[in-house]
Amino acid sequence: MPAEELTESPPRKSGDGGDRKHPTKPTAYRRSPRVMRTFIGSILLLFLLAGVAALVLYLVYRPSKPRFAVVGAAIYDLNVTAPTVVFSDMQITVTIRNPNARSTISYDRMAAYVSLGGQPLTPPLRLPPLEQDEKSTVVMSPVFGGVPVAVSPEVAAALAAAETYGVVALRLVVAGRIRYNPGPFHSGRVGMHVRCDLMAAHRRGMSGQVPLLAAAGCWVDA
């Protein structure tokens, strides 16, 4: 029987690749950039949808500031009792309008006073807290004064001259905190500052209801 021919395989070069196994990247690793792009795109889309939803809710439930108006005034006493002291007793009727159809308004820590020439003629008066429904109007008639108040000589002289002339320019100031309650939401409490200027026909010695010579304009900062 012929002898088997033995053949020797030629030596493999180190660089020919032969049986060397090339490392193969896992499939998940090869796809990771695509997965990351999809994930980031989904997150951005969620943020965009959330922003659109928040904008829609804001436009629907956006509250408007309350509206104040002075509709009447009565002056029972307003005199310069000393060179720099004023004694007053007056009542001012104010309407507060909530113009919002989807938001109630809560008022608290409210105080009011009457001033002339930038100086108070009455001490601050605490007003009761108030819960106001949508599209509603509240009427308040606080009474101010009752105690002497020190003023500057300029304000005392201006008040005496105004009573002689028959027209007194007064300012009602209301300060406090409000909170809007639009639908299912609640805002934080914010400060409120109201200024109402009124021209009252009043002379020294007169007492009672006084005509308002012009519509009292009120400015609300809230």
Nearest to residue 108, comparing CAs of 170, 171, 181, 184?
181
What is d(CA 114, CA 77) in angstroms, rounded to the nearest whole number? 13
Cα-based distances in Å from 37 to 25, 146, 165 = 19, 74, 79
For the stretch 70-108, what's the b/e string if a residue is b when 16 or more beta carbons lie within 10 angstroms of its beta carbon? bebbbbeebbbeeeeebbbbbebebebebebeebbbbbe
Nearest to residue 114, comparing CAs of 104, 105, 106, 125?
125
Whole-structure pTM value? 0.73
The tokens for 108 are: 């608290």
Residues 6+ apart with CB under 8 A from 112: 124, 125, 127, 142, 144, 172, 173, 174, 175
3-state helix, strand, coil in the chain (%, to 5): 20, 45, 35
Determine phi and psi for 5, rounding to 5 degrees.
Answer: -80, 130
The tokens for 107 are: 């008022």
From first to last of its 222 residues, what are the pLDDT tens digits of the chain?
Answer: 444 444 455 555 555 555 555 555 555 445 577 777 787 878 887 877 777 666 555 555 678 999 999 999 999 999 999 999 999 999 999 999 999 998 999 999 999 999 999 999 999 999 999 999 999 999 999 999 999 999 999 999 999 999 999 999 999 999 999 999 887 666 788 999 999 999 999 998 899 999 999 877 899 998
